[in-house]
Chain A
């Protein structure tokens, strides 16, 4: 169990002085790039460096490099060079050694992204002193310049010295796509001496062990070993709840089912790690990111609390959570309003874009989608979501070939962009090419339960009942709260002539639809299905009531009117039946079945002596 090193901590604490320019300035920045620890403590003075350079223990080096990191990465928040100089460089003139002055030059250059300058001085420093700290910093500079191989080779000899060096080396390997090396550097799993109670940094930065787990998880994910990736991500979050990278990776890649997510969230130790208030804050934030199918109420409460107590009403992430909920309830118009607001506040917020594009597509807003796609292509040609947007536009106007081109481009760019695969599948499904649609969907099926559902739907349309049943059930088990899945299951049983089960599923779908306050269009389909199922089982009155409900919605539905007519026909009420058939034919004159039925009905009317007169 590593003890907290007395030296650096105590001296650092004594040198802390509240910096008059420090604390309020972070409030001027609209977006929250500030990680929790940075703004509360002013950067420590460079005086620390000389005392700890020679110390080779891993913990010391880690604390040093953390403090250095703090220095460099907190200072950009100070807009004027004077304020930097006032605290951090106040000792510049008193430094006697050239090396120390060079360190100042190097760090100052780094702060303003003048990498060549920084590399120049860093290089000299490393050669002069051979200090692992300086070498580490040179490697950092090379990493930020994008010269990963250089950084990697520099660090290779330093692996034993500190965890921070390991982490940086692992990051280089990842950028170089040498994933196996990552495991060598970072061990397959955390070594036993680094257990859950990793050392807490008072300065509030995230535990390095958590970082290690995250990096390992990332490497596994890149190697497509998703189980291990999931495990490591989870561990990272468990070790330090503030490790948002890992949490985000878990949630946005849909690595867990709703139930798993919820249990996981509740198992995290927010309070123990961060104290009551902060812990609650973090927990609320994370909760608002979960999947919106289950536990809708709790998530809504969490969001409201964030909005009211923490005044985050106009925050992009909180609004995004609201948008996701509306999307899950199929309330596309409201969802679009929220996402538009988000994009006003935070242009091209990457997390919000897929939902925004999907809503535009659902509401058939061709014009806006066109403009958005053009903007994205101009600014972010390398992002998968850009090409996804273009693909959606072509899909909306019905040019499926072009749509496919762009969807496949999007999926090539980011193999984990499930939405692109789903779009790809839809473009096939629309043209009734079931097999290709199924292939596309199966690639996407790793990412959420919806593609499995779509595969099931395709099988159903192709009349492969057994496969359809399998897929539909799988998707249903992943997410029990999705009314679409229940609807499809009901349809499956209807086609298999098992009307009682069909009715049961439709009823359940209906109750869910009502509970999630979805649009009437969703209810309409379910009502139609229920009507047909009841009609087949002979309960004509109940069937009629459902059809009447559908017919009362606008625009009037020709199928519903025709179905009502048919029921009256069966009941031998020919005049009413004829009236409804006429109405249905008025809406859709080309409906052959209704025309046929009308003819038969009129004939029966005359023959049975039923007439409108007398």
Chain B
């Protein structure tokens, strides 16, 4: 049979259009993105027909029943615009962002505007990544900017001034403003966005990253909507800002019981344990998470930190292999493997893995910080400083990076710098004694005795054995030098509770002090110290 002679009825234009429209959604629902793209392109190449001018839309309505909270009238799309939107979305799904943005040039509905601007933004980000692709190499450019930002901001400003922004566009505006450096305005926009549409977790996340400290959090508290999403936000932010554990648990109790099995809350609990150095509990929590979700990779890099600190090589190796099996090319996997090599003291390899993690995700905080630690171990102070500083650019609230910087500068004997960095660390975590002790040591070096005393007193509040001993010893000496015999005595008594040299010291100090009381004299400090340290 000659195929050319087969009579095929030419279907009508409307018939073709309707079916192609359906095809787009059917294919993309099933993940067949190229098929969807073809269907969309064909649909858009057809001439206009009657169906385009009619306002009732056929085809799957689910995409077009838009968010109900929007107050603008711009969420209505004409048929013609809807076809363009479908085409743009299909390009977006295959990551052709410039094309998506170009197709939507003339569209006016909120959804189209969002997609257009977001696609342009992502295109710029992609180009930015491509330009600065060398981590810590000669081409590394931390301040490579997304060139589309300025044009996008202009467009968004126009929309904002016309009050045409829905929750999503406000989120986008906040994102752009944050990237352009103006955090305060960004916070304002994010607040408007979550108030307009509270279910966009990305907006909440960005808001939490913009909030720099507890005071700012208090300021914006009133402006947050009374919504269950706000509870999540508060929980997340309390972890981010290293707030007190009790605060976290009290917030947690305020959650309705539906959320008991919520994985993200469980993860946050595990992270809180880790931050408070309760490693065993953290390990337990993470194990539970992996059991219920064996292919999960989110936050596994933090689990690897826990295992690293606990020195559990075998388990860390197991975790590394498991994640590499799931996805070799994610930044979390690379961080885990880096931690493993670091534990085995193969520093070079560890650094290379951290670099790879960063190539995948430039904003991976753990990778930068851990890389800094590795460079310190290798005594490459310059690189360590750069790595820590990049970590701080990603998240200025990372106390580990500040502490690392302080240590590096202390090693470089640049004391004033070190003091500044340690101070920043202590501001973030006042309950952590290690930092106070380090700070006190530095103040001693620069002969700022009073400050040193204050720092040691802070240490006393939270320290463990080792630190307590040093603190007491130091305080005893200084109090005695300053003439405060009673305080010195009490510190010396604490010292006696330990064993070894500390006890000896304590005893000699007590003797000295009692003699002082009897003599009622203030012996010059230098003489006494040389005699006591027999």
Binding site for B on A (CB under 8 A): 551-552, 554-556, 578, 586-587, 598-599, 602-603, 605-606, 609, 611-614
What are 10 A-B contacts with C-beta separation under 8 Å?
A554-B150, A554-B180, A555-B143, A586-B143, A599-B414, A602-B416, A606-B416, A612-B420, A612-B424, A613-B423
Known pairs A552-B182, A554-B180, A555-B145; A599 contacts B416 (CB<8 A): yes
B525 near A: Cβ within 8 Å? no
CB neighbours (8 Å) of B150 from chain A are: 554
Q: Would B420 and A554 count as touching, CB distance under 8 A?
A: no
What is the count of residue pairs linking A and B with beta-carbon distances less than 8 angstroms?
Answer: 49
B446 near A: Cβ within 8 Å? yes
Interface of A is mostly: helix
Number of interface residues of B (CB under 8 A): 25
B181 near A: Cβ within 8 Å? yes
Q: Would B416 and A605 count as touching, CB distance under 8 A?
A: yes
B236 near A: Cβ within 8 Å? no
Known A-B contacts: A602-B417, A612-B420, A613-B423. Give 4 more (CB < 8 A): A552-B182, A554-B180, A587-B143, A602-B419
CB neighbours (8 Å) of B181 from chain A are: 551-552, 554, 556
Contact of B145 among A554, A598, A602, A613 (CB under 8 A): A554
Q: Would B427 and A603 count as touching, CB distance under 8 A?
A: no
Q: Nearest chain-B residue to A600 (Cβ)?
A: B416
CB neighbours (8 Å) of A602 from chain B are: 416-417, 419-420
Binding site for A on B (CB under 8 A): 142-143, 145, 149-150, 153, 179-182, 389, 393, 414, 416-417, 419-420, 423-424, 426-427, 446, 448, 451, 454
Q: CA–CA, A556 to B416, complex, Å? A: 27
Known pairs A551-B181, A605-B416; A586 contacts B424 (CB<8 A): no
A163 to chain B, nearest CB (A): 59
CB neighbours (8 Å) of B389 from chain A are: 586
CB neighbours (8 Å) of B423 from chain A are: 611-613
Q: CA–CA, A613 to B145, complex, Å? A: 35
Q: CA–CA, A466 to B298, complex, Å? A: 67
Question: Which of A551, A603, A606 is the most central at the interface, judged by chain B CB atoms within 10 Å of its CB?
Answer: A606
Q: Nearest chain-B residue to A611 (Cβ)?
A: B423
Known pairs A555-B143, A602-B416; A612 contacts B427 (CB<8 A): yes
Q: CA–CA, A609 to B427, complex, Å? A: 16
B420 to chain A, nearest CB (A): 5
CB neighbours (8 Å) of B145 from chain A are: 554-555
Q: Would B417 and A611 count as touching, CB distance under 8 A?
A: no
A384 to chain B, nearest CB (A): 34
CB neighbours (8 Å) of B182 from chain A are: 552
Q: CA–CA, A555 to B416, complex, Å? A: 31
Q: Nearest chain-A residue to B393 (Cβ)?
A: A586
Q: CA–CA, A586 to B391, complex, Å? A: 11
Q: Would A614 and B417 count as touching, CB distance under 8 A?
A: no
Q: Nearest chain-A residue to B430 (Cβ)?
A: A613
Q: Nearest chain-B residue to A603 (Cβ)?
A: B416
CB neighbours (8 Å) of A554 from chain B are: 145, 149-150, 153, 179-181
Q: CA–CA, A578 to B393, complex, Å? A: 15
Question: Which of B153, B179, B180 is the most central at the interface, judged by chain A CB atoms within 10 Å of its CB?
Answer: B180
B151 to chain A, nearest CB (A): 9
Q: CA–CA, A603 to B180, complex, Å? A: 32
CB neighbours (8 Å) of A599 from chain B are: 414, 416-417
Q: CA–CA, A578 to B420, complex, Å? A: 9
Q: Nearest chain-A residue to B419 (Cβ)?
A: A606
Contact of B446 among A578, A586, A606 (CB under 8 A): A606
Closest 4 A-B residue pairs measured CB to CB?
A: A554-B180, A602-B416, A612-B423, A603-B416
Question: Which of A555, A609, A614 is the most central at the interface, judged by chain B CB atoms within 10 Å of its CB?
Answer: A555
Q: CA–CA, A556 to B181, complex, Å? A: 7
Known pairs A602-B417, A606-B446; A614 contacts B454 (CB<8 A): yes
CB neighbours (8 Å) of B417 from chain A are: 598-599, 602
Q: Nearest chain-A residue to B177 (Cβ)?
A: A554
CB neighbours (8 Å) of A612 from chain B are: 420, 423-424, 426-427
Q: CA–CA, A598 to B153, complex, Å? A: 33
Q: CA–CA, A238 to B414, complex, Å? A: 79
CB neighbours (8 Å) of B153 from chain A are: 554
Q: Nearest chain-B residue to A520 (Cβ)?
A: B150
Q: Would B416 and A613 count as touching, CB distance under 8 A?
A: no
Q: CA–CA, A606 to B414, complex, Å? A: 13
Q: CA–CA, A598 to B421, complex, Å? A: 13
Q: Nearest chain-B residue to A551 (Cβ)?
A: B181
CB neighbours (8 Å) of A611 from chain B are: 419, 423, 451
Q: Would B448 and A606 count as touching, CB distance under 8 A?
A: yes
CB neighbours (8 Å) of A586 from chain B are: 142-143, 389, 393
CB neighbours (8 Å) of B426 from chain A are: 612-613
CB neighbours (8 Å) of A606 from chain B are: 416, 419, 446, 448
A557 to chain B, nearest CB (A): 10
B408 to chain A, nearest CB (A): 15
A379 to chain B, nearest CB (A): 30
Q: CA–CA, A587 to B149, complex, Å? A: 17
Q: Nearest chain-B residue to A604 (Cβ)?
A: B416
Q: Nearest chain-A residue to B150 (Cβ)?
A: A554
Q: CA–CA, A552 to B184, complex, Å? A: 11
A553 to chain B, nearest CB (A): 8
CB neighbours (8 Å) of A614 from chain B are: 454
